[in-house]
Structures are given as C-alpha cells and as structure tokens.
Structure 1
Amino acid sequence: MYKSFLVFIFTLFGLQLSAQNAVSGFVNFDDSEAWKPKIYLSQVPLSGLEHNKRQMRIAIADIQDNGFFKFDKKHFSDSNKIYQLHVERIRQIVNDTVTTNVTFMLSGKDKIEFKRGNQVFGEYSTTNHADKEWQKLKAFESNLVSQYLVQGEMTDSRKGFVKDSLQILMVKLIGIKQLESKQLLDKDISENPSYYLDVLADLKESTIDASEYWFLEKKTAYLTQMVMEKELQKSRWLNMGLGFLVLVLGVVIIGMKKKRQAVLISGLSKQEKTVRNLILQGKTNKEIANELFISLSTVKTHITNIYSKLNVGSRKELVQKSTGTST
C-alpha cells in the first residue's frame, strides 16, 4: 500500500513537471561528442524570418545523454510569438549542410514535443493552431517548388492560398511578407486593395507589434487616402443632392402655396379682390372707403368675408400669405 502511494505521488509529480514544460523532446545527434550539450531558445521577429536570423536569445537548456531537453512555460509569451531552437557543433565543418535550428510559433498556453528522427530536429507535434497553419503554408510552398512551376503560376497559387486558406492573422502576415520579399506585393495590392485594407485593420486591432506590419501600412497608405477621398467625394455629392432636393421641394411647396392661394383668391368677388389689393398696399379701412366711395361698415364687411374665404385672421396674416412670407 505504501509503495503504491509513493508511485502515485511520483507519477503525479512527474505529470505536474511535464505540464510546466512548453517545449520538450529530443535532438538527434549522429555523434553527440561533436555537439555542444546545450540547446538555445531565441525569439525571432517576423522581420528576421527571411534571412533566418536568430534574435533575442532568451534561454539555454541542457541536452541529456539520450538527447532529451525541455523549456519551461515561463520563457514564452501568453500570445503567439515566433521562436527558434538552435544547437551548435563543437568544431565548425566546411560545407556543413546539417540544419542546426528549427523555427515554430507558440504561446505559453501551448505545448510542442519533438520526436526522435534522422535529422537533428525531427518532426514535432503541437497544440498551437497558428503554428499548424504556418506549417500548411510551408508545405504548400515546398510542394510548389517540387512541381517546378513557372514563377507566375507559383505566385498566383501562393496568393490564392494566403487569401483563402490561412485563418491565423500572424500567418497571413508571414505570407504577405513573403510576397514582399519576392517584390510581388505592390502588384497584388493594386489588384486586391480591399483585402489588404481589411488585413491591415485586423492587424491594428490585434496584439501584434505595429513594427511588424509597418511595411504594409506604408504600402497601403495611398489606398487609405484614396478611400478617404472617395468617401469625401461621395459625401460632397450626397450633400449637393440633398441641397438640390431641398431646393426643389422648396420651389414645389411655394408653388403649391401660390396655387392654393390663387384658388382661394379666385373665390373672392371683384370688390373683395379690390379691397384685398388695397390692404396689401397698406391702405387703412378709411382710405379704402374713400378710394372706393363706399361706407366704412361696407369695407369692414368686405374684410370679414376676405378673412373667412382666405382662412386668415388678421391683416398681418393676410399679407404674409399673399407675399409668401408666412412661417
């Protein structure tokens, strides 16, 4: 019972230690004495990928006699970054073609395990989805090269793959950088401006360092300017259209009012029309009576009838409606 308990404790302890490892596995040396028993972990910026530069070494681990090594999760960022493992020979060999490093994408939430194999760094399994997408891109490009496609066909195929197949933003950025390194990006941006503007917008909302996609922002700056100018022009045309519509509506409304006023005026008697015109000239009731040779009470009767037929209640309202200045 006691032995079983100890086995359980050691197993649990071993699992806990394993859970703390982000990267582990084996390197495969054909002659271990020719290699330094150390493995180096570096973080690589996207700008360093094309020239396979090792940047910012962050940790060193011992390689055991059986080739096993491990790196704790504490060395890795919570978000996806690109890392490189590197081993070194004790003595440099002329025309050495053995690959001494491997590059991958990882976050501190994921794990990578390197398997035994014939190369220094064999195949590995990973829980990181971004790295899996990146490996798809690498395999796709390797397949293109192996098929001896002409450059134009390779370019078109690569662009289609980057646009349609890759779902991880960082991997899209890697694919775009590869187009840039082959001097193909400018032409593709001109042919697919909306795609690159959308990618740039997503990058700005992501946690990816702005320095990594500054080249894309610079190349699409003219597109942003074009979009802004197009939107501004559209706004101008819209404002002009709305202004013209308001003007037309104003003319129509004034015309309708005048037409309605004309209909109402046509309902006045000849004498009432004369009295109305004299009112519009600013004549007083007494002046109207003297000019028309009628009594003051008759003038008042005409005015009452005019107010009723034109639906107004005062001289001021009569003038406003007649001159089109009513509010």
Structure 2
Amino acid sequence: MKWIKIILWISFLISSPTIWSQYQFSGYVDNSNKDSNVYLSLIEDYRKMSGIYPEQIIQKVIPDSMGYFVFTENNLPTQNRIYRIHTENCSEEDKESIHFNGICLNSKEILFIAQNKDTISLPFTIEEEVFCEVVSTNERSNMFLKVDSIVEDMRYSFSSYRSEANRKVNSRKWFNTLQEFGKSQQEPLTELYIYSFLSNKSNNLYTYYLQDLKQNTYYDELLERLEEKYPDSPYVKQYKTELGADKFSVEITPEKTTSYWIWIILSLLIGSIALNLYLFQKLKKQQSSYKLAERKLTQQEKKILDLILQDKTNKEIASLLFLSVSTIKTHINNLYKKIEVESREEAKTLYKNR
C-alpha cells in the first residue's frame, strides 16, 4: 500500500504542468470577462505592442468561476522578452472584421517584461481595476507601467497650455525625462518601449524626434546597449533598420531636397529637349527617304502600294488592275526593294507613321 502511494505521488508530480513548469503568469479578470478567453502573446515586433495580432499568441486559457487564470509552461526564451496578456469579448464570427489592423475596442491588455523562470501576478487594484498592477519576481516586469505613468504626466503638461512655444519646451523636457528614466533602469527593452512611443509617426512628437535624432547620440547608444544584451533578438534587427532609415531621411534637409529636385527637373528638361531634337531629325530623314523611295516607284507600283495599304490581297489587286497574280507578286517584290521593306506589315507600318 505504501509503495502504491509513492507511485501515485510520483505520477502526480510528473503529470502536473504547474510543478514542472518554470514560468507562471496569473491574474484575475472582472465579471465582464469571466466567460472570455485570456491570451498570452510574445511580442517580437515592438511596433505591434498594443492590439490584437493572432500571429503573436502563444497560449490561451479560460478563467475559472472566480475570474482567475494562469499560464504555466516551460517554452519561453531564457532572456527577457516583451509579453502581452489580453482578454476580449468578441465572438469568433466577429473577430475578423472587428480586429482590423489589430484594433479591438472590447479588449483589455497589459504589457510586461518577462523570461522563462518568472512568476508574475496581475491582481486587482484597490479600485478593483484589472491589468493595472504587476507583481513579479523579475524587477523589470513592471517598467512599462512606470513609463505609462510618466507619459500620462507628459500629456497633462502638454494639454495645460496649447501653444507652439509650450510644445517645443515640453518636447525637449519630456524626451530627456523619458530617455534618462529608460537608461536608469538598465533594461534596453524599457528604452525600446519608450522609443516606440517617441518615434511613432502618428503622434505629435514625431517631428521633434527627427530633430532630436540629428543631434542626440542617445539613439546610437541605445543600439549598442541592445546589441550587447540581446545580440540575436529580433528587436535589434528591427531597431537597427528603422534607425538607419530615419537617419537617412533627416540627412536630406529641405534645402538639399529643393536643390535635389531642381537638378532632377533640369535633367528631365534637357533630356526632353535632346529627345525631341533627335526625333525631329529622324523624322526629317524618314520624310526625305520616303520621297526618294516614292520617286523610284513606277505608276503601276504606286497603285499596287496604295492597294496594299488598303489591305487588299494579291488576288484582289490582280482583279482590280486586270493583271495576273504572278505579275502582281513581281511588282510587289520590286516595290519592296525600292522602299526597303520585306513584308506587307513593314510597308503598312512605314506609311502609317508618315
């Protein structure tokens, strides 16, 4: 009996995914989401951190009657990565149309940093809000929430007085605040989260970002930090590509762009004039050639040529001119030589372009 209990206990340990898994991400959803699936996504494209993208989803669970859910497994990267947990109330039939471009108004989500050995809890806040707090064994997990808090302060600062001067002063201040905060955390993924916000083409900070890129070495230093800590990650490749493209765009200043287009327009104008002169000379030579060729034709050959241009067959031409078909063929061969063509089609093309 004792051995049976031991065997059963060992069997339980082996079969229990929670005990043998290395990560555990758990939390609660509110009553409106208790019947919805909860999804865990691994985000490798930092431009798709917010939204619903099926290609990012790596696990799905259903909350219990209390709204509790848990993700537990042993299949995540050993290095820090960006993850999202989200829930949404869309039906399977509606998802394709509602989730256009990753947007879903019925979704609640939270972003965090984690790795394969982390334990993360997403409890209700004091105000009974979901996905607003991260409790983790990984001290970097809740960095995104801290960045969001700074961004909210920044938005309030911008909205307090809507003037161009206020926008410029605050842009400089908050760019520096966010960048310095990211560096102080010693986690390049936090800085990448900040960068994705500051360099987003859809927000009002993008113009200032391009100006900052010209004079601030921060962006190159961030690339070095990413390459050092996450050398083979997709984040490095994406950031390096985007940074190179943005640098190229800011190197072409408005003055250089204007000069560049002036040279293009002048080149096209000169090319157009040269092409027209060439075509004019070619046309003159062709006309001269036509006139010389026509002088060589006999009256009979001219009649036959006109009939050829009218799409008459050899038999029809012979009938109209009261000649034999073989005689017509002889005349045609002679006129072909004189006007320097080898077929009916060439003759028609030649005289069609006159």
Which bin holds the TM-score, normalised by the shorter protein? 0.5 to 0.7
Cα RMSD between the aligned structures? 3.6
Aligned residues: 211
Which amino acid is the alignment partner of residue 116 of structure 2? G
- How far does residue 197 in structure 1 lie from its aligned partner after superposition? 2.3
| Alignment pair present for 1:160 and 2:176 | yes
1:288 aligned residue = none
With over 3 angstroms needed to count, the CA separation of the structure-2 counterparts of 1:18 and 1:143, relative to structure 1, is farther
Residue in structure 2 matching 1:107, options 96, 111, 115: 115
Q: CA deviation at 1:58?
A: 0.7
Q: 1:151 — aligned with what?
A: 167
Match of 1:140 among 150, 157, 170: 150
In structure 2, the CA distance between the partners of 1:110 and 1:158, relative to structure 1 (3 Å rule), is farther
Provide the rounded CA distance (Å) in 1 between the counterparts of 2:17 and 2:40.
Answer: 23
Partner in structure 1 of residue 328 of structure 2: none
1:39 aligns with 2:55: no
1:205 paired to 2:228: yes
Instruction: Judge which range, 200-209 or 103-112, deviates more.
Output: 200-209
Counterpart of 2:31 in structure 1 is 29
Displacement after TM superposition at 1:15 (Å): 12
Q: When the two structures are superposed, what TM-score results if normalisation uses the length of structure 2?
A: 0.50
Corresponding residue of 2:198 = 179
Deviations 1:60-99 (A, max 9, x none): 112111111111142422112111112232657x9x9664
Residue equivalent to 1:88: 88
Query: TM-score under structure 1 normalisation?
Result: 0.54
Gaps of 5+ in 2: 99-103, 161-165, 252-354
Q: Determine the C-alpha separation between the residues in 2 that align with 1:90 and 1:137.
A: 29
- Aligned match of 1:76: 76
- Check if 1:195 corresponds to 2:218: yes
Distance of aligned partners of 1:127 and 1:223 in 2 relative to their CA distance in 1, 3 Å threshold:
farther
Aligned to 1:219: 246
Counterpart CA distance in 2 for 1:53 and 1:61 is 16
- Structure 2 counterpart SS, 1:199: helix
Cα pair 1:200 1:217 within 8 Å, conserved: no
Per-residue displacement from partner, 1:28-67 (whole Å, max 9, x unpaired)? Answer: 22474xx32x211112220213x53434211111211111
Percent sequence identity over aligned pairs: 18
Q: Offset of 1:18 from its aligned partner?
A: 9.0
> Which structure 1 residue ranges, 5 or more long, are not aligned?
225-327
Q: Distance in 1 between matches of 2:90 and 2:242?
A: 39
Secondary structure, aligned partner of 2:129: coil
Q: Residues of 2 paired with 1:113 and 1:101: CA distance?
A: 14
